[in-house]
Chain A
Amino acid sequence: MVKELEASNNEKSFILEALREGIRLDYREKHDFRPLRFFFGPNYGHVEVHLGATKILVKVSCEVTHPYPDRASEGILILNTEISPMAIPSLDIGRPSEDEVLVSRILERAIKRSRAIDTEGLCIVAGEKVWTIRVDIHFLEHDGNIIDAACIAALTALSHFRRPEVTLVGTDVTIHPVEQRNPVPLSVHHMPICVTFAFFDNGEILVVDPSLQEEQIREGDMTITLNDHREICALSKAGGIELNMDKIVLCSKIATARVTEIHDQIKKALEKDSESR
Chain B
Amino acid sequence: MQQSNAHRLQVVLPGDALPVYEHKLKLGPGLIQDEDQIIAVKGGVLKHQPAGNKYWVESNQRRYVAATGDPIIGVITQKGGEFFRVDIGAAHSAVLSYYAFENATKRYRPNHDVGTLIYARISQANKDMEPELECVNPATGRADGYGELKGGQVAKCSLGLARRLLETETPILKDLGDHIPFETAIGLNGRIWINADTTKNTIVVINAIKDSEKYPESQSRQVVSNHLSKW
Contact = CB atoms under 8 A, between A and B. Distances in A.
Contacts of A17: 199
A171 interface: no
B167 to A, nearest CB: 25
Interface stretch (A5-13, A154-162, A268-276): A5-13
A93 interface: no
B116 A8 contact: yes
A175 interface: no
B151 A6 contact: no
Contacts of A7: 75, 115
Interface in B141-179: 149-154
A27 B230 contact: yes
B115 A6 contact: yes
B154 A11 contact: yes
B117 interface: yes
Interface of B: 63, 75, 77, 87, 89, 91-93, 113, 115-117, 149-154, 193, 199-200, 202-203, 206-207, 230-231
A68 interface: no
A104 B207 CA distance: 32
A78 interface: no
A27 B207 contact: yes
22 contacts: A2-B87, A2-B91, A5-B87, A6-B75, A6-B115, A8-B75, A8-B154, A9-B115, A10-B150, A10-B151, A10-B193, A11-B153, A12-B115, A14-B151, A14-B153, A17-B199, A18-B199, A18-B203, A25-B153, A26-B207, A27-B231, A89-B91
Interface of A: 2-3, 5-15, 17-18, 21, 23, 25-27, 89
Closest CB pairs A-B (n = 9): A9-B115, A14-B153, A8-B75, A8-B117, A18-B199, A27-B230, A10-B117, A8-B115, A25-B203
B62 to A, nearest CB: 9
B199 A10 contact: no
B88 to A, nearest CB: 10
B203 A27 contact: yes
Contacts of B206: 25
B63 to A, nearest CB: 7
A157 to B, nearest CB: 26
B77 A10 contact: no
Contacts of A25: 153, 203, 206-207
Contacts of A11: 153-154
